[in-house]
Amino acid sequence: MIAELGHFSLCLAFALALAQTVLPLWGAARGHSRLIAAAAPLAVGQLLATAAAFAALLAAFAVNDTSVINVVQNSHSAKPMLYKLAGAWGNHEGSMLLWVLILALCGGAVAGFGRDLPGLLRARVLAVLGLVALGFLAFVLATSNPFGRVWPPAADGQGLNPVLQDPGLAFHPPLLYLGYVGYAVTFAFAVAALLEGRVDAAWGRWVRPWALAAWCFLTLGIALGSWWAYYELGWGGWWFWDPVENASLLPWLAGSALLHSAIVVEKREALKVWSVLLALLAFGFSLLGTFLVRSGVLNSVHAFANDPERGVFILFLLLFYVGGSFFLFALRAPSMAPTGMFAPLSREGGLVLNNLLLCAMAAVVLTGTLWPMFADLLFQQKISVGPPFFNSALLPLAAPLIAAMAAGPMLAWKRAKLWPVLQRLWWTALAAFSAFAITLAYAGWRIGPALGFAAALWLIGGALADIVERIALFRRPAAAWSRARGLPRAAWGAAVAHAGLGVSILGMAGMGLATDRLAAVTPGQSIAHAGYEWRLDRVEDVIGPNWTARRATVTVLRNNAVVTVLTPERRFFPVGRMNTTEAAIRTSVGGDLYAVLGEEQNGQAVLRVHDNPLAPWIWLGAAIMALGGALSLSDRRVRVAAPAPRAAAGVKV
Amino acid sequence: MATTSRRLLMLAPLGLAAAGGAGFYAMLRGMGTGSYDPKGVPSVLVGKPAPAFVLPALDEAGVPGLEDAALRDLPAPVLVNFWASWCVPCIVEHPQLMTLAREGVPVFGINYKDKPADAAAFLARRGNPFLRLGRDEPGRVAIDWGVYGVPETYVLDRKGIIRWRWPGPVTPEVLQQDIRPLLRRHA
């Protein structure tokens, strides 16, 4: 019954999305104010219907309703409740439902928060969002219905991939989708602007908070995924240039560029065409990621079950939205002339450089990700593009980007002078150079990590210098506090986000110096590694809620004093007949001690021990970046453009 | 910038998207017909006969050794399995090989970089599924076959042409979904 209600709600959402697309567009074209006004209530209605469908799916998983195929395939009564619920979106059908739910949330948010938008623009934005929802609801209903029944009901479910039974992963897809799908809003704004044929400062101001919010969620989602790969897969790495990881990086790069170019549109009415294109690209990349993951055209640990039929459906959706918007772009963009002029050396110039470099990086990642697939298709060649390509192709782009990042926020609009900026940054440059020299002196000829430490200090120092200058900390210390309070939150946000990237790079540079050692030891024996003594005390059996495991107890000593006790495990999930490795990690400010238990043979256990200096800062930096975005989002200017929800009951972001 | 070139420039995203879309469509079609397979690890040997080799027998196993001549003109399709006693996934796939052997499917083994005593102990403990077993202690033959690592399994048709290659353990799923259909097709 509940499953049928869910299915019905989904059909209702489809009908509402159809109305949300057609009526406002018709009204906007013909000037019917009632049809224009219908957009917001229809969006809220579609949100309620989609939310009801999602709640029905959650209910089916919560009670382990084994007459629903999706539950049978992806759940099991022995699973803890959190993973039963997470199982609802841990599979293709359920995750598509989450996708359309988040899209409906975006529509609801525009309806609720966008009260100050001009009525026509809001109607068009909601109509475009409705159109996107329409396609994906059709996809779910036609090819991926999560509410299908099976009769007679199965005795119990077939479990969930045990690698996915992890709190980090339970929240990774929702956050990532909030980011991916969040770019649907900026896409809708861009398409609405193309339909109207007008992009002005106000457009830049309206689009920026949405770009910021999507960017924050995407940053957190990517970081959570990377962190999960680090502690769950047990390979000791944090980024593998896997095609699906790359697919999440593409909208992030385009979205970061959009974030910055929208500032120029808002302040100076320049880079308009460029910003519109970036908004289209960011969502286009999100859709590309969806297509790559779900069609089975690529080989990845992340890929869902392949189904060429579904792939064709998504491909046509992708081509319709991306192709349609690019067509509109080709039609309308040539007539959008820039108005604000600026010198190459100016804040705008810096932001243009930022855009060019970020887009070049996106192009590199896109090429590296798609090239193996196209080489296979066109030349029947199996090639793999791995870290060496990405690292060597991205470094020359990242270096000038980071160099400019610290100086950019200090440049004046229109025409800037470089000398005063350099004067403020000389001590930061000195710190960065010393970091470079010290790393080389202590770690040997390791250019990558040395550059990384220099970049990290340059960014963090640059952000500090920017704030110090703005609040005149040294020139007029007495007034600094009140100036700091008066500083716009957007300025704080930019500094915090830039420093956050610096913190992330600090962690990455540290990981560049990580070392690991593999050895087979009997209990009582030790491995000497990275200045620690890793002593295997025992290996024993343990039993969890739905798994059994072998657990090693490894005592880590330094100078005969116990530093920590690590308990890496190899878990066996009987229902899924799968093994997982649970790395044991001891995190401290200075880095992670990381141990993985391998096979056991003849009383010996294989242990892999890693010393990962500064590793946790990678993800902490990403959290700081998202915090910076949130700070910027809380700026008064943004709230004036999009005031707090007064009566938007039931609408959350 | 001239208006026409500006217009053409604005068309560039559409053109790129269309080209990409056409490529993706071809990939999806190819997945249906089998001409595009993202998961397959191709072998240059697929569609060709096995390279020439002669390998000595493992005395303790009590079955003859293996040479390429034994892989021509067969009564039924055969499996050639590269394995080693030190390889953990080989233990995982072993029951599936035993099942095939019990059903009368000829399974030929090539013991890769292994000590004869260890290999014999492995077979004595878990059973011997192999009709013929060659010892490739230096690993030379594996290089000629292009083996990535053990275990790795090949299906050869009755003429001795290599039809399929699987790097990794033969799990029950691989047995059901890949090997059994192949054996039927080439029977």
A447 and A407, same structural domain?
Answer: yes
Q: Indicate the length of chain B as a whole number.
A: 187
Let me know if residue A232 belongs to a domain: no
CB of B132 closer than 8 Å to CB of B6: no
A549 and A600, same structural domain?
Answer: yes
Let me know if residue A198 belongs to a domain: no
Give the residue carrying structure tokens 């199996």. Answer: A382
Q: What is the pLDDT of residue A242?
A: 84
CB of A209 closer than 8 Å to CB of A109: no
- B21 chain-A contacts, CB cut-off 8 A: 315, 318-319, 323
Distance CA A123, CA A38 (A): 8
SS3 content of chain B, % helix, strand, coil (to 5): 45, 20, 35
CA-to-CA dists, residue B178 to A204, B155, B163, B164, B173, angstroms: 55, 10, 11, 9, 8
- B39 chain-A contacts, CB cut-off 8 A: 299
Final residue in a domain of this structure, among A478, A513, A548: A513
CB of A201 closer than 8 Å to CB of A263: no
- Strand B107-112 and strand B78-83: the pairing is parallel
Nearest alpha-carbon partner for A637 in A435, A492, A522, A516: A492
A436 and A528, same structural domain?
Answer: no
CA distance A312 to chain B (A): 7
The residues, any chain, with a CB within 8 Å of residue A430's CB and separated by 6 or more, are: none
Kindly determine whether residue B88 and residue A599, on different chains, have CB atoms separated by under 8 Å: yes
Let me know if residue A410 belongs to a domain: yes
A593 and A462, same structural domain?
Answer: no
A477 and A524, same structural domain?
Answer: no
SS3 B151: coil
Kindly determine whether residue A315 and residue B11, on different chains, have CB atoms separated by under 8 Å: no
Residue B9 — very low, low, confident or very high, per pLDDT cuts 50/70/90?
Answer: confident
A3 and A120, same structural domain?
Answer: yes
A540 and A469, same structural domain?
Answer: no
A470 and A584, same structural domain?
Answer: no
- Strand A578-582 and strand A526-529: the pairing is unpaired
Closest chain B residue to the Cα of A327, Cα to Cα:
B14
Q: What is the pLDDT of residue A652?
A: 36
Let me know if residue A402 belongs to a domain: yes
Distance CA B186, CA B78 (A): 10
Q: With a cut of 70, list the residues of chain A below it in pLDDT.
A: 159-164, 299-308, 338-340, 575-577, 637-653
Final residue in a domain of this structure, among A159, A175, A199: A159
Distance CA A224, CA A178 (A): 13
Let me know if residue A442 belongs to a domain: yes
A483 and A561, same structural domain?
Answer: no
Q: What is the pLDDT of residue A255?
A: 96
- The pTM (predicted TM-score) of the whole model is 0.83
* B27 touches A at CB < 8 Å: yes
Q: What is the pLDDT of residue A316?
A: 93
Residue B69 — very low, low, confident or very high, per pLDDT cuts 50/70/90?
Answer: confident
A594 and A505, same structural domain?
Answer: no
CB of A293 closer than 8 Å to CB of A255: no
Q: What is the pLDDT of residue A160?
A: 59
Q: What is the pLDDT of residue B128?
A: 93
Kindly determine whether residue A323 and residue B31, on different chains, have CB atoms separated by under 8 Å: no
Q: What is the pLDDT of residue A644?
A: 38
Domain span at residue A22 reads 1-159
Kindly determine whether residue A315 and residue B23, on different chains, have CB atoms separated by under 8 Å: no
Let me know if residue A469 belongs to a domain: yes
Q: What is the pLDDT of residue B72?
A: 85
The number of domains in chain A is: 3
CA distance A311 to chain B (A): 7
Mean pLDDT within B113-136? 91
A537 and A580, same structural domain?
Answer: yes
Kindly determine whether residue A334 and residue B10, on different chains, have CB atoms separated by under 8 Å: yes
Mean pLDDT, chain B, whole residue set: 85
Distance between start and end Cα atoms, chain A: 30
Let me know if residue A6 belongs to a domain: yes
Radius of gyration (C-alpha) of chain A in whole angstroms: 26
Nearest alpha-carbon partner for A247 in A361, A369, A360: A369
ipTM, two decimals: 0.83
Torsion of CA B24, B25, B26, B30, to 10 degrees: 100
